[in-house]
């Protein structure tokens, strides 16, 4: 006869059945949780991809706007507007050219606009946003201009920076370096240096 603490076989089977049911319930809950987590990860990934697409679209729009502004600026400066601008300062421009490119002893160079007459050459660096670092880099590059472009060795060569917008102090730094400072829009331009500026000859 079984004692008071003895467990019958039926009770043991019932305990196993209950334990198995709890394992199955736990497995079901974990499966549902994993499925929900996976769904959330997929939804987050979808949102990231959607955000990336929107950012790419916005970047392309801004890049297009930037390119358009820069292109209009260069075109206006390379045309009659630049001629009129320098004529007001006593420099008679006869010809303008864009994108002078070349290389000298393996070192490549590029200048945005060359404006010239028989004796004078103005080299124009064009920026949508003019920064101090651009000015110093341009002045350094101008120091090699006649070495790189020997046909202009006999000429008086001046430097100019043209821009749509400028960081604080950039215009003054450019003038201090002896450069012509040209504030421009898409269809007009003006030299903003003091009227008595003596431009640096490179």
pLDDT in tens, 147-182: 999 999 999 999 999 888 899 999 999 999 999 999
pLDDT in tens, 11-58: 777 778 888 888 888 888 888 888 888 788 888 878 877 776 776 666
Phi and psi dihedrals of 56, rounded to 5? -60, -40
80-87 vs 9-78: helix axis angle to the nearest 10?
60
Long-range contacts of 41-46 (CB under 8 A, 24+ apart): none
Within 8 A by CB and 6+ apart from 95, the residues are: 115, 116, 117
Q: Which domains does the chain have, with CATH numbers?
A: 78-191 (3.40.1350.10)
Within 8 A by CB and 6+ apart from 179, the residues are: 135, 138, 139, 158, 159, 160, 161, 199, 200
Q: Is the pLDDT of residue 202 over 90?
A: yes
Residue 1 pLDDT: 46
Averaged pLDDT for residues 136-154: 95
Q: How many CB atoms lie within 10 A of CB 167?
A: 15
Higher-pLDDT residue of 180 and 84 is: 180
**Which of 92, 100, 84 has its CA nearest to residue 188?**
84
- How high does pLDDT run on average in the chain? 82
Distance CA 146, CA 154 (A): 9
User: Whole-prediction pTM value?
Assistant: 0.64
Q: Is the pLDDT of residue 107 over 80?
A: yes
Give the ranges where 79-168 is alpha helix by DSSP (H): 80-87, 132-142, 145-148
Residue 58 pLDDT: 64
Distance CA 179, CA 173 (A): 9
Distance CA 96, CA 190 (A): 17
Residue 23 pLDDT: 83
pLDDT in tens, 90-106: 889 988 888 899 998 88
Residue 76 pLDDT: 62
Q: Is 79 helix (H, G, I), strand (E, B) or coil?
A: coil
Q: Is the pLDDT of residue 72 over 80?
A: no
Residue 26 pLDDT: 87
Sign of CA dihedral 58, 60, 66, 69: negative
Residue 67 pLDDT: 52
* Cα→Cα distances 91→65, 119, 141, 146, 193, Å: 33, 10, 22, 20, 14
Percent of the chain past pLDDT 70, that is, above it, reads 83
């Amino acid at each position: 006869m079984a004692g008071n603490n003895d467990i019958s076989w039926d009770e043991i089977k019932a305990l196993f059945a209950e334990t198995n049911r709890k394992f199955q319930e736990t497995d079901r809950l974990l499966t549902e949780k994993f499925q929900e987590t996976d769904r959330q990860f997929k939804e987050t990934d979808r949102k990231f991809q959607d955000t990336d697409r929107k950012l790419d679209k916005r970047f392309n729009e801004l890049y297009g706007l930037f390119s358009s502004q820069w292109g209009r600026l260069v075109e206006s400066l390379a045309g009659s507007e630049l001629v009129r601008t320098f004529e007001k300062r006593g420099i008679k421009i006869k010809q303008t050219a864009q994108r002078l490119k070349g290389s000298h002893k393996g070192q490549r160079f590029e200048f945005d606009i060359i404006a010239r007459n028989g004796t004078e050459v103005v080299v124009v660096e064009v920026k949508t946003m003019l920064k101090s670092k651009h000015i110093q880099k341009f002045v350094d590059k101008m120091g090699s201009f006649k070495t790189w472009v020997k046909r202009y060795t006999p000429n008086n060569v001046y430097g100019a920076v043209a821009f749509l917008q400028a960081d604080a102090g950039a215009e003054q730094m450019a003038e201090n370096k002896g450069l012509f400072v040209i504030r421009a829009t898409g269809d007009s331009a003006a030299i903003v240096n003091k009227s008595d500026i003596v431009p640096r000859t490179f």
